[in-house]
Structure 1
């Protein structure tokens, strides 16, 4: 069974499990960095919006022999679960006085998203692009977002400048900045793994030694929800405050779209080594969708500006 056959059969099976007037549509979705996914939208009569359920994982289940009826049941349950989790008011969304308070920004790679950028408002930042989205929900149940497209500007009668103003105020307020040393990140990882006492003792010791002995200090900057956190470098005085704290210029390493690594500039730091590190980590540890850049940036304290190193 190929993917097209899978989609056709799945639609027929879902039709047999839903009410007569239920709309079942499959469409492609352009994700970050040019990744294209296929999603199904199941919309019952009187509904005006419904979540997109991506089909690629379910196709893998079918290839491994899972029954199509079981797959359809899982998709229907997931769709209903998403509807119950995330409340969305269409009238409120159309009202910019309400939605404007939820408009945020994030950073994506410019060249990797050229096709997408043709259809969404944005502004360039070195080899990256600042793009905008609406934060529909963000709580213990999860996070729901809507990418802002050019047609939304017409709906709200606003321009990119207004979006940037909204996002500049809202993003730091709704997605608070976090900054930790690399040693603290190691300790957090240890807590998440719930190691036994012996492992705890060894890891705590290693983390402390790493923080105390490494000549190259590293700090991880992101946000509290760990979503689209690389943009925290754009927050007002975010970079200037860190430069004051470390009393030097510093390098910005794009760890992913979710966070960046900051390295104070000193004689032990070699720019080419940082570039090699970023590219090696991107190649081996970062998913294609979460990749941000293979370049490094340097904040110049005296000029309050950023230059790109490639």
Structure 2
């Protein structure tokens, strides 16, 4: 199975599993995720009534498939990860992002390689220091899967 077919099948099958578990309508879409130091194809999963979701790294999952892991095992694992992450996702007010007074206590800095992140840095506020750059994130919560953060973008500042 090629990568595009894998992504389409993964999105459809994860949605079916999550819809059957929750009895609801889960939104699932394919997209490219730009993160500091990496870009990957993802399947974004979120409840119908939410702006907050989870990204499943389809690139990494396809590498597992190419490495010999069964497709069904990958789908079941991805659905479990998405289900767990959605149940433990932090609860926060999306409208608060436009209010600095509400968000300033959750602001954190991240030091990254300027060269490796040049394209992404064009879309985020940052300060260059030598060959590094300081970018900014909002820390939105802690879960068993790790710390949830959102990269501050120029678009956020424009709104």
Normalised TM-score (structure 2): 0.83
**Aligned in 2, Cα 1:83/1:93: closer, same or farther, shift over 3 Å?**
farther
Aligned length: 154
2:150 to 141, 146, 152: 146
Tell me the equivalent position of 1:37.
Answer: 40
Per-residue deviation, 1:46: 1.4
The answer to whether the 8 A contact 1:13-1:69 is kept is no
Which residue of 2 is the match for residue 101 of structure 1?
Answer: 105
Structure number with higher strand proportion: 2
Alpha-carbon offset, residue 141 of structure 1 = 5.6
Could you tell me how far apart the structure 2 residues matched to 1:139 and 1:13 are? Answer: 25
Q: 1:62 maps to what in 2?
A: 65
Mapped to 1, the partners of 2:18 and 2:84 lie a distance apart of 16
SS state at 1:137 partner: strand
* Unpaired segments ≥5 residues, structure 2: none
SS at match of 2:137: strand
Report what 1:118 is aligned to: 122
Correspondence for 1:199: none
Contact 1:13 1:68 in 2 (8 A): no
* Aligned equivalents of 1:97, 1:22: Cα separation in 2: 33
Shift of 1:86: 3.2
Contact 2:29 2:45 (C-alpha < 8 Å) held by counterparts: yes
Q: Which region of structure 1 is more displaced relative to structure 2, 78-87 or 145-154?
A: 78-87
Distance (Å, rounded) in 2 between the aligned partners of 1:22 and 1:64? 29
Matches within 5 A, 1:1-310: 1-19=1-19, 21-33=25-37, 35-89=38-92, 90-138=94-142, 142-155=146-159
Tell me, yes or no, if the aligned pair for 1:29 and 1:36 is still in contact at 8 Å: yes
Map Cα deviations across residues 262-301 of structure 1 (whole Å, 9 max, x no partner): xxxxxxxxxxxxxxxxxxxxxxxxxxxxxxxxxxxxxxxx
Q: Secondary structure of the residue that 2:124 maps to in structure 1?
A: coil
Instruction: Select the structure of larger CA radius of gyration.
Output: 1
Runs (4+) of structure 1 moved beyond 6 Å?
none
Q: Shift in Å at residue 140 of structure 1?
A: 6.4
- Matches of 2:150 and 2:119 in 1, distance apart? 18
Shift in CA distance, 147/17, structure 1 to aligned 2, threshold 3 Å:
same
Decide whether the 8 Å contact of 2:42 with 2:56 is kept in 1: yes
Describe the shift of the 1:139–1:99 C-alpha distance in structure 2 as closer, same or farther (beyond 3 A).
Answer: same
Structure 1 Cα separation of the partners of residues 145 and 12 of structure 2? 31
1:94 shift after superposition: 3.9
Q: Is the 8 A contact 2:25 2:47 kept in 1?
A: yes
CA deviation vs aligned residue, 1:147-191 (integer Å, no higher than 9, x gap): 110011123xxxxxxxxxxxxxxxxxxxxxxxxxxxxxxxxxxxx
Instruction: Describe the shift of the 1:61–1:127 C-alpha distance in structure 2 as closer, same or farther (beyond 3 A).
Output: closer
